[in-house]
Structure 1
Amino acid sequence: MYAIATKQQLYKTYILSDQAAQSRLEVVPERGGIVTSLRIQGQEILYLDAERFANPDLSVRGGIPILFPICGNLPDSKYTYQGQSYTLKQHGFARDMPWEVTDQVTQDLVSLTLVLNSNDQTRAVYPFDFQLAFTYLLLGNTLEIRQRYTNHSAEPMPFSTGLHPYFWTPEKTGIEFEIPADEYQDQLTRQIHPFTGAFDFNQDEIDVAFKQLSGQEATASDASRQMQLTVSWDNPYSTFVFWTVKGKDYYCMEPWSAPRNALNTGEQLLRLEPGETLETLVRLTVTFL
Structure 2
Amino acid sequence: MSFSISATQNQYITYILSDESALSRLEVVPERGGMIARWSIEGQDVFYLDEERFANPELTVRGGVPILFPICGDLPDNVYVYDNKAYHLKQHGLARNFPWEVIEQSTDSSCKLTLSLKSNEETLKMYPFDFELRLMYELQGKNLKIYQEYINKSDKVMPFSFGLHPYFLVKDKEQMVLDIPASSYQVKDTKEIIPFDGSFDFREEEIDVALKSLKRPSASIQDRARGLKVNLKWSDEYSTMVFWTLKGKEYVCFEPWSAPRNAISTGESLTELEPGATCEAMVEIDVTSV
Per the normalisation by structure 2, the TM-score is: 0.99
Aligned to 1:82: 83
Measure the CA separation in 1 of the matches of 2:173 and 2:161. Answer: 29
Aligned to 2:251: 250
Aligned to 2:9: 8
Any idea what the Cα deviations from partners look like across 1:209-253, whole Å, max 9, x if unmatched?
A: 001111100101111111111111001100000000000000000
**Tell me, what secondary structure is at the counterpart of 1:35?**
strand
- 1:87-166 paired onto structure 2 within 5 Å: 87-166=88-167
Measure the CA separation in 2 of the matches of 1:224 and 1:194. Answer: 27
Measure the CA separation in 2 of the matches of 1:18 and 1:138. Answer: 7
What residue identity is the alignment partner of 2:266?
Answer: T
**Tell me, what secondary structure is at the counterpart of 1:52?**
helix
Aligned to 1:174: 175
Aligned to 1:67: 68
Aligned to 2:29: 28
User: Structure 1: which 4+ aligned runs deviate by more than 2 Å?
Assistant: none
**Tell me, what secondary structure is at the counterpart of 1:173?**
helix
How many pairs are equivalent? 289
Identity of aligned residues (%): 54
For structure 2, the residue ranges without an aligned partner over 5 or more in a row are none
Measure the CA separation in 1 of the matches of 2:23 and 2:94. Answer: 33
Measure the CA separation in 2 of the matches of 1:41 and 1:283. Answer: 19
Aligned to 1:283: 284
Measure the CA separation in 1 of the matches of 2:226 and 2:198. Answer: 19
Any idea what the Cα deviations from partners look like across 1:91-143, whole Å, max 9, x if unmatched?
A: 00100100000001011111100000001100001000000000000011111
**Tell me, what secondary structure is at the counterpart of 2:5?**
strand
Measure the CA separation in 2 of the matches of 1:278 and 1:261. Answer: 20
Measure the CA separation in 2 of the matches of 1:187 and 1:217. Answer: 22
Q: Return the offset for 1:41.
A: 2.3
Aligned to 1:217: 218
Q: Return the offset for 1:180.
A: 1.3
Q: Return the offset for 1:6.
A: 1.2
Q: Return the offset for 1:278.
A: 1.1
Any idea what the Cα deviations from partners look like across 1:64-90, whole Å, max 9, x if unmatched?
A: 000000000000001010111111000
Measure the CA separation in 1 of the matches of 2:38 and 2:18. Answer: 12
Measure the CA separation in 1 of the matches of 2:216 and 2:154. Answer: 33
Any idea what the Cα deviations from partners look like across 1:261-284, whole Å, max 9, x if unmatched?
A: 000000000011000011110001
What residue identity is the alignment partner of 1:242?
Answer: F
Measure the CA separation in 1 of the matches of 2:215 and 2:258. Answer: 15
Measure the CA separation in 2 of the matches of 1:104 and 1:151. Answer: 24
Q: Return the offset for 1:42.
A: 2.2
**Tell me, what secondary structure is at the counterpart of 2:21?**
helix
Measure the CA separation in 1 of the matches of 2:47 and 2:282. Answer: 19
Aligned to 1:191: 192
**Tell me, what secondary structure is at the counterpart of 1:263?**
helix
Measure the CA separation in 2 of the matches of 1:284 and 1:188. Answer: 29
Measure the CA separation in 1 of the matches of 2:169 and 2:142. Answer: 16
Aligned to 1:40: 41
Measure the CA separation in 1 of the matches of 2:39 and 2:272. Answer: 32
**Tell me, what secondary structure is at the counterpart of 2:4?**
strand
What residue identity is the alignment partner of 2:88?
Answer: T
For structure 1, the residue ranges without an aligned partner over 5 or more in a row are none
